[in-house]
Amino acid sequence: MKNENIITQLSIFINNEPGRLAAVAGILKEFNIDVKGFNLAESTEFGILRAIVDDPDRAYDIIRSQGVIVKKTDVIGIAIRDSPGSFFEAADVLGKAGMNIDYGYAYSNKDFDFLFVRVDDAEKAAEVLKDAGIKLIEKSEI
Amino acid sequence: MAFWNKEIETMPRAELEKLQLSLLKKQVRTMYDSSKFIHDRMKAAGLSPADITDMGSFRKMPFMRKTDFRDNYPDGLFIRPYEDLVRLHVSSGTTGKPTVVGYTRKDLDLWAESLTRGMVSFGMTKHDLVQNSHGYGLFTGGLGVHYAAEKLGATVLPASTGNTERQIQLMKDLHVTAFVGTPSYLFHIADTCDKMGVDMRRDTNVRLAIAGGEPWSESMRAKIQDRTGIHIHNCYGASEFNGPSFLECEEQAGLHVWADLCIMEVLDKNGDQCADGEKGELVITMLQKEAFPLIRYKIGDVSALDWEKCECGRTHPRLMMLSGRTDDMLVVRGVNVFPSQIESVIGEIPYLSTFYHITLENENYMDDMTVEVELNESSIADDMVKLGRMARQVEDRLKSALNISTKVRLVLPDTLKRFEGKAQHVTDNRKYD
Ligand SMILES: [Zn+2]
């Protein structure tokens, strides 16, 4: 059975040139790709748009077909209550399990506040966090 | 005017050429007899030592090239056994393999002689205190200058590279009178003096300098002389023919190339001899080298030679400032770099594609090299920390291959400009004015 807690994120690589980000945004709009949450990371060479979208497989094929470099990355969504302590609790659980968070970014919808995080082994991280009683978001809840 | 070896240095041209021919014949005979490489090359060209009777027949001798060193790595071109060798130096080669040069006692002696003559020609004496900021080690600059200045009887301070503030402190405290280094390091010294509030004219006794090992220009020389009040003398050399070897006299009118040690030819695009003062490719024959002889070596530098007798009284031809390369060799911070070396490092790293570009810039004549290289699509990490680590790893690998630091920028696939035919891998934005 597929793990409902493993969320597929698209990592879209964009050169730091004027108009490149706008061009990618144009593709998302043109093909009605619904972006639920995103984060933009930048180096001096290029940027990475990390996006949680509706139907990531379809979006991946479309973006790729437009000549844009895109990768699928597994992330997990950790529910955070109104206190910032809940994130540290999750980080502590992962740390004790020897798992490192590569990056994370926050997202909210009408029901939840949560944090998407990228770890090396998403399956294992999801298991460890659930065992510790931490609520993870499921695909259907995004 | 003082001379180190007046008889030789002022010998009339006709006599010098006679001396060259007799040394040449002897050298060709020795090489034919003791170097399998030269023997085979001469045989293939249908030549025997007896055929070399004048300069015209000498020009039938096949050329040697940098690739010959690579093919005979490490010591296949030595014609003396190790028991006769007293030193080795190593410089960078075109690919992974460096060039190894061996010296007999006489080779070291004549190398020092060549530089000592030059030092005397611009007024250095045994009363000078010489601060040598060339690197000591495998590089020929440090030890080459060191032994020549000692031969002259000057006092040498083997400062080597780095720690500029301490170098300036020692320069003041020890009353250094002559400085040796690369042109860009002289500029760096001048800048550091400004920061330290040291006035080279007022606070130091430095009056002479030798600068070489990297490209520079007359306008750079004018600037730095003006800033520091030091007379700066150009130097030319390469490890293949010893190391730093030829210097300008006090006239600063070209480097005296000692004709009893070296035949320097200048060839045009068709391989014909250039006229006096006409630029062309330098071809070098060493007349008295024992361990590692060179005959008609295409060193890759472009310049002109002038046989007109110098105002200083010396009769040997003068080499003008270098004006380019015939190959793609780059000189970066005094180190020879071939794009092929960078290419082979990139080829060994699985997450890199074969597309790269080198950009050279300089600020205050201090070179900066940036290598942009495209990542393989399958290897792109979506994590900045990992990408940073990958870039540092490429920088480390390049540093150990090239012996100088580079900045590496990992870029996305299909970012770098594609070229039709031979890829243009280098953009050189350095300014020498
Ligand atoms: Zn002269």
SS3 B387: helix
Question: Rg (Cα) of chain B, in Å, rounded?
Answer: 23
The minimum CA-CA distance between A7 and chain B, rounded to whole Å, is: 16
Range with the lowest mean pLDDT among A97-101, B32-36, B288-292, B304-308? A97-101
Over the stretch A95-106, which tens digit does the pLDDT of each residue have? 999 999 999 998
Rounded Cα distance between A71 and B381, Å, is 9
- pLDDT for res B166: 97
pLDDT for A84: 65
Residue B420, min C-alpha distance to chain A (Å): 22
Nearest CA of chain B to the CA of A101: how many Å? Answer: 11
B415 interfaces chain A, CB cutoff of 8 Å? yes
Q: Return the amino acid letter for B57.
A: S
Please report, for chain B, the start and end positions of each structural domain, with discontinuous segments joined by +.
6-326, 332-428
Residue A42 has pLDDT above 70, yes or no: yes
Ligand 1 geometric centre to CA of B306 (Å)? 11
For residue A83, what pLDDT band results from cuts at 50, 70 and 90? low
List, in order of start, the domains of chain A with CATH numbers. 7-73 (3.30.2130.10), 75-141 (3.30.2130.10)
- Residues of chain B above pLDDT 70, percent: 98
Mean residue pLDDT across chain B = 94
Task: Quickly list DSSP for B165-221.
Answer: HHHHHHHHHTT--EEEE-HHHHHHHHHHHHHHT--HHHH----EEEEESS---HHHH
> What pLDDT digit, counting tens, does each position of A66-77 carry?
999 999 999 999
Looking at the complex, does the CB of residue B390 fall below 8 Å from at least one CB of chain A?
Answer: no
DSSP B118-158: HHHHTT--TT-EEEE-SPPSSSHHHHHHHHHHHHHTPEEE-
The per-residue pLDDT for A140 is: 85
- Structural contact between residues B230 and B179, judged by C-beta atoms closer than 8 angstroms: yes
Distance from CA of B386 to the nearest CA of A (A): 9
Is any Cβ of chain A less than 8 angstroms from the Cβ of B411? Answer: yes
Quick check: B19 contacting A, CB < 8 Å? no
Query: Which residues 6+ apart lie within 8 Å of B342 measured at CB?
Result: B356, B358, B371, B398, B401, B402, B425
Point out the residue among A41, A44, A71 whose CB comes nearest to the CB of B380. Answer: A71
For chain B, the farthest-separated pair of C-alpha atoms sits apart, in whole angstroms, at: 72
User: Class for domain B332-428, per CATH?
Assistant: alpha beta
pLDDT at A113: 85
B6-326 has CATH 3.40.50.12780 classification = yes
Share of chain A above pLDDT 90, in %: 62
Instruction: Please name the member of B383, B388, B412 whose beta carbon is closest to the beta carbon of A13.
Output: B412
Percentage of chain B lying above the pLDDT 90 cut: 84
Q: What is the CA radius of gyration of chain A?
A: 16
Average pLDDT of B385-409? 94
Is some CB atom of chain A closer than 8 A to the CB atom of B44?
Answer: no
pLDDT for residue B148 = 98
Chain A touched by B385 (CB under 8 Å): yes
Expressed in angstroms and rounded, the spacing between residue B153 Cα and the centre of ligand 1 is 22
Q: Is the pLDDT of residue A60 over 70?
A: yes
- The residue ranking higher by pLDDT, A108 or B42, is B42
Residue B205: count of CB within 10 angstroms of its CB: 15
Q: What is the pLDDT of residue A139?
A: 87
Q: What is the pLDDT of residue B324?
A: 87
SS3 B12: coil
Q: How confident is the model at residue A142 (pLDDT cuts 50, 70, 90)?
A: confident
* Region B168-184 average pLDDT: 96
CB contact under 8 A, A118 and B383: yes
- What does pLDDT average to over chain A? 90
Q: What is the mean pLDDT of residues B291-317?
A: 96
pLDDT band of residue A82 (cuts 50, 70, 90) is low
Q: A9: Cβ–Cβ under 8 A, 6 or more apart, which residues?
A: A50, A51, A52, A56, A72, A73, A74, A75, A116, A118
Nearest CB partner across the interface for A11, out of B377, B382, B411:
B382
A27: which 2 tokens? 């593709």
Question: Cα–Cα distance between B186 and B365 in angstroms, integer?
Answer: 10
Torsion B326-B327-B328-B331 (CA) sign: negative
Confidence band for A107, pLDDT divided at 50, 70 and 90? confident
B382:A43 CB<8 A: no
Q: Give the lowest-confidence range in B126-135, B342-351, B406-415, B418-427.
A: B418-427
3-class secondary structure for B215-262? CCCHHHHHHHHHHHCCEEEEEEEEHHHCEEEEEECCCCCCEECCCCCE
* Calpha distance B341→B99 (Å, rounded): 13
C-alpha closest to that of B272 among B262, B284, B281, B264: B281
Reported confidence tier of residue A1, pLDDT bands at 50, 70, 90: very low
Residue range A124-132: mean pLDDT, rounded = 93
